[in-house]
Amino acid sequence: MTKPKILDLFCGCGGMSLGFEEAGFEVLLAVDTWSDAIETYNHNHPSPVGEVSDIRNLDDARIDSLLSSGPIAGVIGGPPCQGFSTVGTRDVEDERNHLYMEYFRVVKRIRPQFFVIENVQGMLTLAGGAFRDDVVKRFSELGYSVSHSLLNARDFGIPQNRKRVFFVGVLEGEFEFPSGSGIPGVTTHEALSDLPRLDVEHEGVHEFDYPGPPATDYQRYIRGSAESITHHLITMHTEQTKSIIAMIPDGGKIRDLPREYWEVRKYNKAFQRMASEGVSITVDTGHRNFFHYDQNRIPTVRENARLQSFKDDWVPLGSKTSQYKQIGNAVPPLLAEYVARRLKRYL
């Protein structure tokens, strides 16, 4: 059976694409301007459909060429929309919204059966809801029934507290978002405890054997087809930093310590330790001040990937800093998969 084809705009390293592919879609083209992310995207896909390109290069002629090989069922992506945060008139035509408008242009030209826009939760209330209202109005005028929902990754068996808004438009009927009901939660311990413990002697070691069989359902899932663990590289901290981390309890923060330690880092998210029996805070693009639940260090790239639901056979490329950023910017593949499965059923 032919798989329904989609385009992934602002694809990053491919989290949303991976989820849709697991649900039975085929990505015809994925574009992003960040070369590191596209390199990772293509390395992890059977066909290198990722292109380092500005969305404006996806002009009518290119779109028509893509359509010549058959219909495109959907367009997915997370266009930046900074212009909606401006005060005063909050003009939707603000030049900083041009990427969002380009996304709209592509959907208008293709007129797929559905589109998906993912963004930070603030987009629901930004500028008095201007972005939210414009998505609904603009795409409704194209004939789409548009709905939106704030989804939290932790409700879908992902060990991370990550809220993101999804807008879905469908040409026929109404789209019903998955709720996560009945999906068991996963703790950071359940997600990470089968990875090797790291210490000073592991500095510079990039690859490990699994210490034993998977101990949880999530560990079985997240290992994928990997036969070893890569990108589990320890970050070396100063003795002062490690001594302070060591004092922070499981799930605790710097403010659990005496006041003299509070000024070590100047902002309120600094120096938090994962809760072993809870989920991670939102994986961001740096994670320099968020620590393993019982090891006195920041998470490795592989641990962050697992917290985002990237499987162990998924390999990020680029510098270590770039890898952290790619993972932090991504849509969790497993969350995307739940949305995609609903859309597959809708089709």
Active site residue 81: yes
Sign of CA dihedral 297, 302, 303, 308: positive
Three state DSSP letters for 82-131: HHHHCCCCCCCCCHHHHHHHHHHHHHHHHCCCEEEEEEEHHHHCHHHHHH
CA distance 126 to 133: 10
Neighbours of 202 (CB within 10 A): 15
Marked catalytic residue, from 37, 81, 198, 248:
81
State the Rg of the chain over Cα.
21
CA distance 115 to 346: 12
Q: Is 213 exposed, middle or buried (0-12, 13-18, 19+ CB in 10 A)?
A: exposed
CA dist 22 → 16, 17, 341 (Å) = 10, 9, 9
CA distance 262 to 175: 47
CA distance 242 to 280: 20
Cβ within 8 Å of residue 317, ≥6 positions away: 36, 39, 40, 43, 323
Would you give the DSSP letter of residue 77?
E
Instruction: State the pairing for strand pair 50-52/26-32.
Output: parallel
Q: Which residues are designated catalytic?
A: 81
